[in-house]
């Protein structure tokens, strides 16, 4: 896959799934715009490392995606984009009658509303070029639900609905919009939870992963960030030019249950 001459903006991409996606796009030759809400030296150094490792242009742009204005400014400061990956997200677990209102609002803003704002700004430039790819990183929770995750599930279902709408609005224009729906992905955040889960359940690492953490994932294997990134790269290819307005589950069989 050759994505040279394509600029990719990936939200929430200084770690985890977003970083994995950025790396796979960089391997394919795309110019990379990394993003998160922090503005540290290591964030900008991370962008520089992409040039060193992959030989591509790369920048880091700080933006707090709980703000619609900052989400729009991210795409504008990038100079537009050919590939937009809406990945930024946060999580909170609580019963709905105990869910903090401010936390609900922030999850909806970051996980769902930001994708609206970035997409709205990115599409005119894509239409002008006659080519574009919008990839929304939803979740298995965009297709199914779990208790105590009301804001996250609501936001991810909303992202899936918006994906379908954008796919219809851009059909036949050389632009596609799709949602990738991962199951449990082995990220540094998840990796850090494993020792605590081992203590709580008095299990060894492999058993607690298989029987507790991946109970709902039939493969009993974590999805990798490389697999998510590879799926995004494929969606950017000519092979996927007629794949639009749909979801692709990368979840070890979770949503087949």
Each residue's pLDDT tens digit, 193-210? 999 999 999 999 999 999
Total domains, the chain = 2
Evaluate whether 252 touches 214 at the Cβ level (below 8 Å).
Answer: yes
| Listed residue (112, 114, 117, 120) closest to 158, CA to CA | 112
Same domain, 159 and 245: yes
- Give the residue numbers spanning the domain of 155: 7-185+223-251
Quote the pTM value: 0.97
**25 falls within a domain:** yes
Same domain, 92 and 39: yes
Same domain, 178 and 191: no
pLDDT for the residue numbered 189: 85
Spell out the long-range contacts of 220-223 with Cβ–Cβ below 8 A and sequence spacing 24 or more.
220/252, 221/252, 222/184, 222/185, 222/186, 222/190, 223/182, 223/183, 223/184, 223/185, 223/186, 223/250, 223/251, 223/252
Evaluate whether 249 touches 175 at the Cβ level (below 8 Å).
Answer: no
**157 falls within a domain:** yes
| Listed residue (22, 26, 4, 5) closest to 13, CA to CA | 22
| Token pair for 2 | 């050759």
DSSP readout, 221-234?
A: SPBPHHHHHHHHHH
Same domain, 130 and 205: no
| Token pair for 223 | 């999805």
**257 falls within a domain:** no
pLDDT for the residue numbered 221: 96
pLDDT for the residue numbered 29: 98
**97 falls within a domain:** yes
- Reported as a single tens digit per residue, the pLDDT across 111-127 is 999 999 999 999 999 99
Same domain, 50 and 97: yes
**256 falls within a domain:** no
CB atoms within 10 A of CB 131: 16
Same domain, 151 and 93: yes
pLDDT for the residue numbered 149: 96
- 152 counts as catalytic: yes
* pLDDT tens digit at each of 257 positions of the chain: 799 999 999 999 999 999 999 999 999 999 999 999 999 999 999 999 999 999 999 999 999 999 999 999 999 999 999 999 999 999 999 999 999 999 999 999 999 999 999 999 999 999 999 999 999 999 999 999 999 999 999 999 999 999 999 999 999 999 999 999 999 999 998 999 999 999 999 999 999 999 999 999 999 999 999 999 999 999 999 999 999 999 999 999 999 99
Evaluate whether 93 touches 100 at the Cβ level (below 8 Å).
Answer: no
CA distance 12 to 17: 8
**1 falls within a domain:** no
* Among 60, 152, 184, 239, the one annotated catalytic: 152
Same domain, 104 and 170: yes
């Amino acid at each position: 896959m050759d994505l040279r001459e394509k600029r990719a903006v990936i939200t929430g991409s200084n770690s985890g799934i977003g970083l994995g996606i950025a790396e796979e796009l960089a391997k394919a030759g795309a110019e990379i715009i990394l993003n998160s809400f922090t503005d540290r030296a290591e964030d900008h150094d991370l962008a520089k490392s992409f040039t060193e490792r992959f030989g591509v242009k790369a920048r880091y742009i700080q933006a707090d995606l709980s703000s619609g204005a900052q989400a729009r400014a991210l795409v504008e400061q990038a100079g537009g984009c050919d590939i937009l990956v809406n990945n930024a997200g946060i999580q909170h677990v609580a019963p709905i009658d105990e869910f903090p209102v401010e936390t609900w609002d922030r999850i909806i803003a970051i996980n769902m509303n930001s994708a609206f704002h970035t997409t709205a700004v990115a599409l005119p430039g894509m239409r002008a070029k006659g080519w574009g790819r919008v990839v929304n990183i939803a979740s298995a929770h965009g297709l199914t639900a779990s208790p105590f995750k009301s804001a996250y599930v609501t936001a991810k279902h909303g992202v899936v609905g918006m994906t379908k709408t954008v796919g219809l609005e851009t059909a036949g224009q050389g632009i596609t919009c799709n949602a990738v729906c991962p199951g449990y992905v082995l990220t540094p955040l998840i990796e850090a939870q494993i020792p605590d889960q081992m203590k709580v359940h008095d299990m060894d690492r492999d058993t607690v992963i298989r029987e507790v953490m991946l109970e709902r994932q039939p493969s009993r294997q974590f999805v990798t960030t490389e697999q998510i990134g590879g799926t995004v790269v494929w969606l950017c290819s000519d092979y996927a030019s007629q794949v639009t307005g749909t979801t692709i589950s990368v979840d070890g069989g979770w949503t087949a249950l």
